Amino acid sequence: MAVVGQVLRAEWVKIRSVRSTVWTLGTAVVVTVVLGVVICTLTRKDFDGMPEERRLAFDPTNMSFAGMGLGQLAMIVFGVLVVSNEYGTGMIRTSLAAVPQRGVFLFCKMLVATSLVFAVGLATSFAAFFAGQAALGGHRAHLGDPGVLRAVVGGALYMTMIALFSMAVATMLRSPMLSLGILMPFFFLISNILGNVSATRRIGRYLPDQAGSKIMQVVAPVNDETPYGPWGGFGIMAVWTVAALLVGYLLLDKRDA
């Protein structure tokens, strides 16, 4: 449909013409790569002192993504701002007057932002991998090793899905403060707590980030009893995201702008 092409171009103009795009995505790249390198460097120094079982389960690929936990917060900010920039400013009324088919509007906005995040995510993921492996020295993994390429591309997919989930939540909630106030503590604290306390781990591992991050693992941790594989986990994350998008779309379509 011709209209979709026009709206995609419009959304691209929007996204490239605000500063928040550059600084949020830039922060995500820098934090993820730098923190990954720092942790890989420290790990190499500690490696010989580690207990046997941890050395056996050592996952150099996943180690280079250690910065992702913090870097994803910048991705969340990006996702939230892409949507709530419209609401915070009243731009949404101008936008919906120009594109009254709200489904088309939402789809195009998400597609443009998601494509951009995926491109940035791929660059980040490969940069984090190569820099991290270099820092690990002799304990490094190679891109050709089984499962490694999947984990590296998976890093980009994970970042993309986190951003998309954030966009969906912001579409539901509209307010940037409310969206960030829920997403940030959720992904940074609550999900971690639920996933690390044994009593709640069974539930915790079905949360979007916990399930999705499985795709970045090459070697399973000790005593791993996760009932899904890397793609299964990513699928769980995708289901969460699709559900959030659906609710966001239904709300956008029904309510007054």
Partner 1 sequence: MIELMGLTKHYGDKVAVDGLTFTVRPGIVTGFLGPNGAGKSTTMRMVLGLDNPTAGAVRIYGRHYRQLKDPLRYVGALLDAKAMHGGRSAANHLLCLARSNGIPRTRVDEVLHLVGLTSVARKRSKGFSLGMGQRLGIAAALLGDPRILMFDEPVNGLDPEGIHWIRHLMKNLAAQGRTVFVSSHLMSEMALTAEHLVVIGQGRLLADTSMAEFIRQNSRSYVRLRSPDRERLLDVLHRAGVRAVAGRGGVLEVDGVPAERLGELAAAQQVVLHELSPQQASLEEAFMQLTAGAVEYHAHNGGRPGPGRGMPPRPVVPERALSGGAPPGGWGAGWQRKRS
Residues 166, 138: Cα–Cα separation, whole Å: 38
- Give the per-residue contact string, 95-124, with partner 1 (x = CB under 8 A; - = no): xxxxxxx-----------------------
How many chain residues are in contact with partner 1, going by CB under 8 A? 32
> Closest separation between CB of residue 251 and partner 1, Å?
13
Q: How many CB atoms lie within 10 A of CB 149?
A: 15
> Closest separation between CB of residue 249 and partner 1, Å?
15
Residues 80, 248: Cα–Cα separation, whole Å: 13
Binding of residue 14 to partner 1 (CB under 8 A): yes
Nearer to partner 1, 85 or 191 (CB): 85
Binding of residue 86 to partner 1 (CB under 8 A): yes
Binding of residue 11 to partner 1 (CB under 8 A): yes
Binding of residue 13 to partner 1 (CB under 8 A): yes
Stretch that binds partner 1, among 12-20, 127-135, 137-145, 157-165 (CB under 8 A): 12-20
Stretch that binds partner 1, among 10-18, 123-131, 156-164, 243-251 (CB under 8 A): 10-18
Binding of residue 3 to partner 1 (CB under 8 A): yes
> Closest separation between CB of residue 143 and partner 1, Å?
39
Binding of residue 199 to partner 1 (CB under 8 A): no
Six token digits for residue 96 = 């919906």
Site residues (CB under 8 A) for partner 1?
Answer: 2-3, 6-7, 9-14, 17-20, 85-86, 89-101, 254, 256-257
